[in-house]
Amino acid sequence: MWQKDPTLGKYTSYTFQHELNLSFHFATELHNWFSWLDCDFDVAKAGGNRERPDIILHRRASHALNFLVIEIKREKSRKDVPVDLMQIRQRWFGYPLAYRFGAAVILEDDKPEFEVQILSRQERGENPIILKHSNMGAPLVAPSCDRVHLEKVAHKILETADTGNDAAAQALQREMDTLVFGCYGFRHA
């Protein structure tokens, strides 16, 4: 995002980027990495008490593929990140929404750096995994995924959700997690 739009983080007397604007740009870039899911920003979901996370990666019209919920913060709002992470655990990991992953993304002001704090619904009491731009090395390359396989698994998850077979749905979700982690060069436990 920063390479494609280097002035996005430049705050001047002429522009002041609010988190909603940054969320839009981040969501647009992020969707390229999760193209088998729908990507929305600042949207309320049924069962979410009109709460609106900054970005969600999900499949519209179902809770079965609620994959990732993201809160965006600017560096000057870093103090609010623990509250965002708590809300992800309480609001977005709980049922009926049951998002599988959550993240707080802290964007540095006036420079192309960031920090990501990642949570998993499966690990309810965990401390977030923290990734920083400065310790990530070279820019991330586009993932090498079998997107067709991911789309097939996503479709099977939706079909299984309609049958009420929770064990089969969970097995398919684990398969999707393994595929997604593999796309980005990680092993999923």
Q: List pLDDT tens digits, range 73-103.
A: 887 788 999 999 999 999 899 888 989 899 9
Is the pTM here over 0.85, yes or no? no
> Residue 56 pairs with which residues in a beta bridge?
40, 69
Q: Which of 126-130, 143-147, 157-161 has the lowest mean pLDDT?
A: 143-147
